Amino acid sequence: MSFARILIEMAGRQGRSLPPETHPEPLATLDYLDELALKREALAAFWRAADLPGRPDPVLPAPQPRRYRTTTKRRVVPGPRGVTLAFPGAPAARQRLAPSALDLPEHVALYEFLIEELSRPAARPLAAVLSWAIVRGAAGRLALVLNVRRLDAPIVRSAKRLSEALQEAACAQAGFLYLDPSDSGYYLEARRPTGTVAFKRLFGPDWLPVEAQGMRLRFPVTVFSQVNGAMLETMITTALSLLGPLAGRTLLDLYCGYGLFSLTAGREAAHVTGVDTDGPAIEAARANAVHCGAANRTRFVAGRIDADFLAARLRRPAAPEVVLLDPPRQGTYPGVVAAVAARQPAHVVHICCGTEEIPREVAAWSAAGRAVQRVVPLDLFAGTANLETMLLLSRAERAAPS
């Protein structure tokens, strides 16, 4: 049984009426202390049901459990009375804007402005081909990405009129068109659609800032970043505590993105190698390393993170190595865990974004001779039926011969 299903059923037995697990914010109506207690109980039940080793630590709470999301998304639904912005996967509601308890207020204000502008006759060419409206960033630095099924001159002219209105109202600092003819469920942390893809800047810078551990980093608008900026400090300090002292050691940061962990948690390491499949993310990581004065001890490599890549492209380090993995929600490709274990790292911290992937990943580590030493769940997705979980893996002890 899934963690989400266990959580929803447990809430029902406790007399708590919640939306179905398909709702994007099923726990957002709860008092946060009640939500936290429910998640702790549900994770323990999930651990027992999946027969997983060890026992999870108490869930680390979110310092800002509501109004925190720095990346949000709405499905654009044109209608006779104008545009409606709906939650992904949810039926169109009576309200023109699907309400949220988790989105930043400035995101909500931008969506409300967008509804009015897209409902004007001059915006019809654009509204007719829109799939998604995506907002990224926080107050004073918002970027709007409009996902379109088609791109031609009338659509671009309509989009430019919208961008002028956005700039005049100062409710967004950058705007972009993203072409996806397949009308996929594209999202910034998911696999992007293949085929003809175009990204057109309408106005503003094509990067966003993030601050963590006293560092100011940048990442491109299309590159993944954590949705809960208030939890970044907790994530980094937790990862550091699990990795152990890094002085004199090499850090291998897999799925490194724009270098968040490499350049913060990895500051004390003798050398850092970061790897990501996303070329723009790697370019941003290299630029961030230069900006932070860490270019002489960091190396960022772009490539598909699979067993062949790890064996052929990443040489063994001279110093003892520790490994951090932060794969997307789908988890690692088959063979990745075994390839990492074959490097004989001193410590491994595997971050699981999808709770349902934990049993598969733990089984792979067990087969590779690594055992779960500690489990630290973080409430990175407060208000939702999910957790971020850090696993510390150690070499499995072999039984003494009889």
Same domain (yes/no): 231, 194: no
Beta bridge partners of 173: none
Residue pLDDT, tens place only, 130-159: 999 999 999 899 999 999 999 999 999 999
Range with lowest mean pLDDT among 19-33, 193-207, 338-352: 193-207
**End of a domain among 205, 221, 252?**
205
Report whether 224 contacts 188 (CB < 8 A): yes
Same domain (yes/no): 101, 215: no
**End of a domain among 205, 222, 249?**
205
Residue 33: which domain range?
Answer: 3-49
Q: Please name the residue ranges forming H helices in 119-152.
A: 124-127
Residue 109 CA, chain-centre distance (Å), reads: 23
d(CA 67, CA 76): 22
Place of tokens 């709470």: 61
Q: Does residue 331 come out as left (phi exceeding 0), alpha (psi in the -120 to 50 range) or beta?
A: left
d(CA 294, CA 308): 28
Whether residue 164 is predicted with pLDDT greater than 90 in this model: the reply is yes
Whether 241 maps to a domain, the answer reads: yes
Same domain (yes/no): 339, 298: yes
Whether 65 maps to a domain, the answer reads: no
Whether residue 385 is predicted with pLDDT greater than 50 in this model: the reply is yes
d(CA 1, CA 261): 32
Q: State residue 317's pLDDT score.
A: 83
d(CA 381, CA 160): 35
Same domain (yes/no): 130, 151: yes
Q: How many helices (H) and strands (E) does the chain have?
A: 11, 15
Whether 63 maps to a domain, the answer reads: no
* Alpha-carbon torsion angle 82, 87, 90, 93, nearest 10: -40
Same domain (yes/no): 271, 192: no
User: Where does the pLDDT of residue 21 fall: very low under 50, low under 70, confident under 90, or very high at 90 and above?
Assistant: confident
**End of a domain among 140, 174, 205?**
205
Range with lowest mean pLDDT among 119-133, 191-205, 290-304, 335-349: 191-205
Place of tokens 């549900």: 42
> What is the dihedral sign for C-alpha 303, 306, 312, 317?
positive
Report whether 137 contacts 143 (CB < 8 A): yes
Whether residue 195 is predicted with pLDDT greater than 80 in this model: the reply is no
When the pLDDT of each residue in the chain is averaged and rounded to a whole number, the result is 92
Report whether 216 contacts 201 (CB < 8 A): no
**Which backbone phi and psi does 85 adopt, to 5 degrees?**
-110, 110
User: Where does the pLDDT of residue 200 fall: very low under 50, low under 70, confident under 90, or very high at 90 and above?
Assistant: very high
Report whether 24 contacts 88 (CB < 8 A): yes
> What is the dihedral sign for C-alpha 59, 63, 68, 70?
negative
d(CA 190, CA 111): 22
Residue pLDDT, tens place only, 222-268: 999 999 999 999 999 999 999 999 999 999 999 999 999 999 999 99
Average pLDDT over residues 388-393: 98
Place of tokens 């004073």: 140
Whether residue 3 is predicted with pLDDT greater than 60 in this model: the reply is yes
Residue 52 per-residue DSSP state: -
Whether 58 maps to a domain, the answer reads: no
User: Where does the pLDDT of residue 402 fall: very low under 50, low under 70, confident under 90, or very high at 90 and above?
Assistant: very low
Same domain (yes/no): 42, 150: no
d(CA 267, CA 23): 40
Report whether 252 contacts 309 (CB < 8 A): no
0.85 exceeded by pTM: yes
Whether residue 90 is predicted with pLDDT greater than 70 in this model: the reply is no
Q: State residue 373's pLDDT score.
A: 97
Beta strands (DSSP E) in 13-59 are none
Same domain (yes/no): 76, 196: yes
